[in-house]
Amino acid sequence: MQPLPTSLVRALFHPWAWRMAWRDSRSQRGRLALYAVSIAVGICALTAIHALRASVRQSLDTQTKNLLGTDVLVSSRQPIAQDPLVNLSSLITETGSETAFSSMLSDPSGAHSRLVQVRALEGGFPFGTTVDTVPVGAWQSLQEQHGILLDPALLAEFDVHPGDKLKLGATEFTVLGEVTKGVPRSNRFSGFASEAFIRLKDLPSTGLAGSQSLVFHHLFLELRPGTEAERKAALAEVRKSFSLKGVQIQTPEDRSETFGEGIDKAKEFLSITALTALVLGGIGVAGAIHTHIRRRVPTVAVLLCLGCPASLAFAVYMVQAATLGLMGTVLGAGLGAFAHAALVHFAGNSLPFNVAAMPQPLVILETAGAGFLLCCGFALLPLLRIRDISPTATLNARSEKVPGRSLREAGVYLLLFGLVWSVARLNGANSLRALALTASLGVAFASLTATAFGLMKFTRWIIRPSWPYLLRQGVSNLFRPQNQTLLFLLSLGLGTFLLLTTWFTQSLVLSQLKIDNGPSTPNLYLVDVQPDQTRTVRAVFEAEHLPVLEDAPMVTMRIESVKGLLLSAIEKQPQNASSLPEAKPTQRVPRWVMEREYRSTYRTTLNATETVLAGAWPPTPFVAGAPVPISLEQQLAKDLKVGVGDEIVLDVQGVPLRAVVACVRKVDWSKFNLNFFMVFPPGVLEDAPQFHLLTTRVPSGQTSGALQRTLLRAAPNVSVVDLTSILATVASLLQKAARVIQLLAGFTLAAGLPILAGALLNGRDQRLRESVLLRTLGASEQQVRAIVLVEYAALGALSELAGSLLAVGAQWAAARWIFKTPHAFETGPVLVALAISIGGSVLAGRTLSRSVCSKTPLDVLRQG
């Protein structure tokens, strides 16, 4: 006789555990299949969400990428040596280059001319997007023939049409058409200057290159597609290869500010939904195993009596749970892949993004693996009860707390905590955010448990013998031994919490994915308006019934010195930092930040898109002779490495001006209001040469061509910048992101409801036997139903209320700390959830009372 294994690991591999697990499942196949299906639903949702997520993430990245038009943008004031590309050839699929500068564009007679941003291009830039032109195909024509493409405003201004000629430098170019959408700006600070595109190889003939003071050279690099990690590694390699003096490297992420934080939040939402689906699945698993184990208490007690070690008994059910989990996982992963394929097949065209017909096997494998682990983790929670079962249960039906239980339980909770945390991490949250998400789940779990116990105490206290019998019986079911209050609150309550949170988070994200394109958002800018022309311009607007939304004075200036260091001195600083491979190239003040022209305004107030980060605005009044307090935009302050109190000397068109940073502002560049890097207080710049910038809003759908011509006749030097197409582009991108979010939220809800329905049915057994006993004792079907309904409706309503309360709290926290938006309480979803959960509970109660009356009592009583 060989000794039975007492260690869990050995018990798990003991053949008897497997044989017993198999036999024990025999009479329960149908029920167990149902459990496997509920696991499968969770895994299916998870697989589908994960499979979509890869595509969604990619599409969001593409949207951001469209802002830059390339994976990597290398910029310099000097021509960029292309030798590093030889070493990078394995990482890069396509390249392009650009030389950009400001120059005068004029009509062939030279009568009318205007300063434009010339962009001489070569290669396939922009990558991955199409450029919209009028006439269609003009962008391709530019690759093949000598010519020029213009911003729409320039065509209106020169009153030229495709085929006409315009002169740039020494050469005449044929106008090929207008660029309406799709060429990202390479110079972040080129401001609103209208753009003109030519071929790089036509540039020398103009004789302009080299003569300009402010020439920018750009190199566009398209990286080989790969995983996030590969991309990061490739990027690091590129940075290293181009870590030369004066070279700046940008990636699409640097540009995503145009979208506001919406896209980032959308990505964050993805990780929250995946986590939600996973935990929902976990609830399903835990509920199913819990019910299963409850029915197995007598069996385990007998096994213990017959000399079976506790760990071997545990192993029997662990084996069962793991097998169920495995079957559910395989089934779920298959269903998930199928659901994905079906979605792509039937709705692929209406999806806002491109999706591969089949999810990647690796994604499925990863998801299934994580799902299976989590499934086992959640199963451990009810399985622990087996360790609590004492052989005494064979003598009288009760089980005592076994010493050591709380320690084991703590271990399991810790394990679950770690699992959920790592899944959150895998889904892209940073460690702290993952911790916060996991902790909030923990808090929800703990509060629901506390609510359950509170509820039991409360009902026990409130119940009165004078209540009608059916009500009394139904309510006392909430606290009597073997009650399902905790089960309901944990499954239904937690489920409601998760689903409502998904919904709430969705609406928070959606609110951030809207750009303000209302009547107060400007879409037409008037640049270079002389102070004495503002009245004329205002009159034109008035005649056209257009509002003047903003009118800001602008003064051009340069930076002379920062914190006492002259520009020339900064340039001469040894740049050894950049020669160290690990040093970030941003550690020095980029030269172009120092050299560029700043157009600053003066005003006392901040507008709605600005928030003070440090210092205060308006500043305290300053005495004549003291440095002028100014406000800097945060990124500029960071680039200049200055903070509140630091001194900057500015060169205001030849006159030095001492200024001190009094305020650092955050500017929401995603809004299309007038925003400036530097803001002065009134009383300093009034006498400097200046011009005005006015904004208005043209009703949507109306072209601004006629208006532009009227304006040009009234004030010939004024430039008009039409933003309607940019606004439309951004709006459509955000709308796509919003649809993605809605789709995923819908998916999670659709998967969550059946899981919760399963949880409701799990508790059924508990009441079945008892209801049958009541039937045997002479209760009518009506009475049985009433008792069950009172209990189920009460539990449904209370679980929902507790879950909603938690969800509202979570929404408040998310709005405050994650999304940083004001929080609006939504009653609608809470009421819908209330209706669904009471309805669902009542329905579950009805099924129960029906099955009570459909089986013969003897059958049920014999089953034990």
Partner 1 sequence: MAERTLSSLVPPVLEVRALSKTYSDGDRSLTVLDNIHLSVAPGETCAIVGPSGSGKTTLLGLCAGLDDATSGSVQLDGETLETLSQDARAALRGRSVGFVFQNFQLIPTLTALENVLVPMELRGESGGFAEAEALLSKVGLGKRLTHYPHQLSGGEQQRVALARAFVRPPRILFADEPTGNLDAITSETLVEMLFALNRENGTALVLVTHDPALAARARRVVRMHAGRIIADERP
Ligand X SMILES: Nc1ncnc2c1ncn2[C@@H]1O[C@H](COP(=O)(O)OP(=O)(O)OP(=O)(O)O)[C@@H](O)[C@H]1O
Shortest reach from residue 461's CB to partner 1, in Å? 15
Q: Are 75 and 217 spatial neighbours (Cβ–Cβ below 8 Å)?
A: yes
Is 641 a residue that touches ligand X (CB under 6 A)?
no
The residues, any chain, with a CB within 8 Å of residue 452's CB and separated by 6 or more, are: 485, 486, 488, 489, 490
Q: Which of 395, 450, 539, 831 binds partner 1 (CB under 8 A)?
A: 395
Q: Is the Cβ of residue 297 or residue 415 nearer to partner 1 in the bound state?
A: 297
Phi, psi for residue 63 in degrees, rounded to 5: -60, -45
Q: Are 506 and 269 spatial neighbours (Cβ–Cβ below 8 Å)?
A: yes
The residues, any chain, with a CB within 8 Å of residue 487's CB and separated by 6 or more, are: 287, 290, 759, 762, 763
Q: Among the candidate windows 113-121, 303-311, 531-539, 834-842, which touches partner 1 by CB under 8 A?
A: 303-311
738 binds, among ligand X, partner 1, none (CB under 5 to 8 A by kind): none
Total of chain residues touching ligand X, rule CB under 6 A: 2
Q: Is the Cβ of residue 394 or residue 742 nearer to ligand X in the bound state?
A: 394
Of all helices (H) and strands (E), which one includes residue 556?
A: strand 550-562
Is 481 a residue that touches ligand X (CB under 6 A)?
no
Q: Which of 80, 183, 215, 301 binds partner 1 (CB under 8 A)?
A: 301
Of all helices (H) and strands (E), which one includes residue 452?
A: helix 431-462
Shortest reach from residue 298's CB to ligand X, in Å? 16
848 binds, among ligand X, partner 1, none (CB under 5 to 8 A by kind): none
Phi, psi for residue 633 in degrees, rounded to 5: -75, 145
Q: Which of 73, 308, 324, 441 binds partner 1 (CB under 8 A)?
A: 308
Shortest reach from residue 762's CB to partner 1, in Å? 19
Helix-helix angle 262-305:361-383, to 10 degrees: 50
Is 391 a residue that touches partner 1 (CB under 8 A)?
yes
Q: Which of 129, 299, 556, 725 binds partner 1 (CB under 8 A)?
A: 299
Helix-helix angle 310-347:15-26, to 10 degrees: 60
Shortest reach from residue 439's CB to ligand X, in Å? 39
Q: Are 59 and 740 spatial neighbours (Cβ–Cβ below 8 Å)?
A: yes
Q: Is the Cβ of residue 392 or residue 735 nearer to partner 1 in the bound state?
A: 392
Q: Among the candidate windows 257-265, 307-315, 431-439, 636-644, which touches partner 1 by CB under 8 A?
A: 307-315
Q: Which ranges of 513-601 does DSSP label H, i.e. alpha helix?
A: 534-543, 567-572, 576-579, 591-595
Q: Is the Cβ of residue 171 or residue 394 nearer to ligand X in the bound state?
A: 394
Q: Which of 4, 327, 565, 843 binds partner 1 (CB under 8 A)?
A: 4
Within a 13 Å sphere around the CA of 214, how many CA atoms are in the beta-carbon half? 16
Q: Is the Cβ of residue 350 or residue 396 nearer to ligand X in the bound state?
A: 396
Q: How far apart are CA 74 and CA 692, in angstroms?
A: 33
Task: Report the first-to-last Cα separation within the chain, whole angstroms.
Answer: 34
Shortest reach from residue 386's CB to ligand X, in Å? 20
Shortest reach from residue 470's CB to ligand X, in Å? 30
Q: Is the Cβ of residue 389 or residue 838 nearer to partner 1 in the bound state?
A: 389
Q: Is the Cβ of residue 1 or residue 777 nearer to partner 1 in the bound state?
A: 1
Angle, vertex CA 158, rays to CA 154 and CA 159, nearest 5: 105
Angle, vertex CA 64, rays to CA 147 and CA 337, nearest 5: 120
Q: Among the candidate windows 386-394, 522-530, 720-728, 746-754, which touches partner 1 by CB under 8 A?
A: 386-394
Q: Which of 166, 208, 304, 499 binds partner 1 (CB under 8 A)?
A: 304
Shortest reach from residue 390's CB to ligand X, in Å? 11
406 binds, among partner 1, ligand X, none (CB under 5 to 8 A by kind): none
CA distances from residue 738 to 351, 352, 507, 823 in whole angstroms, order as listed:
12, 9, 10, 19
Q: Which amino acid is at 469?
A: Y
Is 324 a residue that touches partner 1 (CB under 8 A)?
no
DSSP 3-state of 844: helix
Count Cβ neighbours within 10 Å for each residue of 207-232 and write b for 16 or more, e otherwise.
ebbeeeeebbbbbbbbbeeeeeeebe
Q: How far apart are CA 144 and CA 199, in angstroms?
A: 9
Q: Which of 175, 303, 355, 674 binds partner 1 (CB under 8 A)?
A: 303
398 binds, among ligand X, partner 1, none (CB under 5 to 8 A by kind): ligand X
Q: Spell out, one character per residue from 836 to 855, where the chain touches partner 1: x when CB under 8 A holds, - when not.
A: --------------------
16 binds, among ligand X, partner 1, none (CB under 5 to 8 A by kind): partner 1
540 Rama class: left (phi>0) / alpha (psi -120 to 50) / beta: alpha
Shortest reach from residue 449's CB to partner 1, in Å? 23
Q: How far apart are CA 184 and CA 65, in angstroms?
A: 10
Q: How far apart are CA 501 and CA 808, in angstroms?
A: 8
Q: Is the Cβ of residue 227 or residue 396 nearer to ligand X in the bound state?
A: 396
Q: Are 6 and 311 spatial neighbours (Cβ–Cβ below 8 Å)?
A: yes
446 binds, among partner 1, ligand X, none (CB under 5 to 8 A by kind): none
Count Cβ neighbours within 10 Å for each residue of 454-469 and write b for 16 or more, e otherwise.
ebbeebeeeeeeeeee
Q: Is the Cβ of residue 295 or residue 514 nearer to partner 1 in the bound state?
A: 295
Closest C-alpha to 807, from 777, 832, 829: 829
Is 222 a residue that touches partner 1 (CB under 8 A)?
no
Q: What is the DSSP string of 308-369?
A: --HHHHHHHHHHHHHHHHHHHHHHHHHHHHHHHHHHHHHHGGGSSS---SS--HHHHHHHHH
Q: How far apart are CA 431 and CA 425, in angstroms?
A: 6
Q: Which of 106, 171, 174, 390 binds partner 1 (CB under 8 A)?
A: 390
Is 24 a residue that touches partner 1 (CB under 8 A)?
yes
Is 26 a residue that touches partner 1 (CB under 8 A)?
yes
Q: Is the Cβ of residue 4 or residue 297 nearer to ligand X in the bound state?
A: 297
Is 392 a residue that touches partner 1 (CB under 8 A)?
yes
Structure tokens at 677: 């890097």
Is 311 a residue that touches partner 1 (CB under 8 A)?
yes
Q: Which of 2, 227, 349, 396 binds ligand X (CB under 6 A)?
A: 396
Is 30 a residue that touches partner 1 (CB under 8 A)?
no
Of all helices (H) and strands (E), which one includes residue 67?
A: none
Q: Among the candidate windows 184-192, 392-400, 545-553, 682-690, which touches partner 1 by CB under 8 A?
A: 392-400
Is 398 a residue that touches ligand X (CB under 6 A)?
yes
DSSP 3-state of 617: coil
Q: Is the Cβ of residue 90 or residue 396 nearer to ligand X in the bound state?
A: 396
Structure tokens at 513: 């994915």
Is 460 a residue that touches partner 1 (CB under 8 A)?
no
Q: How far apart are CA 834 and CA 844, in angstroms?
A: 15
Q: Are 22 and 736 spatial neighbours (Cβ–Cβ below 8 Å)?
A: no
1 binds, among ligand X, partner 1, none (CB under 5 to 8 A by kind): partner 1
Residues 406-445 that bind ligand X (CB under 6 A): none
Q: Is the Cβ of residue 611 or residue 863 nearer to partner 1 in the bound state?
A: 863
Closest C-alpha to 308, from 616, 670, 3: 3
Q: Which of 9, 111, 306, 624 binds partner 1 (CB under 8 A)?
A: 306
Q: Is the Cβ of residue 460 or residue 641 nearer to partner 1 in the bound state?
A: 460
In terms of DSSP bridges, do strands 524-529 and 719-722 run parallel, antiparallel, or are they unpaired? antiparallel
Residue number of the CB closest to ligand X reads 396
Shortest reach from residue 304's CB to ligand X, in Å? 17
Is 820 a residue that touches ligand X (CB under 6 A)?
no
Binding residues for partner 1 (CB under 8 A):
1-4, 6, 16, 19-20, 23-28, 298-299, 301-311, 390-392, 394-396, 402, 862-864
Binding residues for ligand X (CB under 6 A):
396, 398
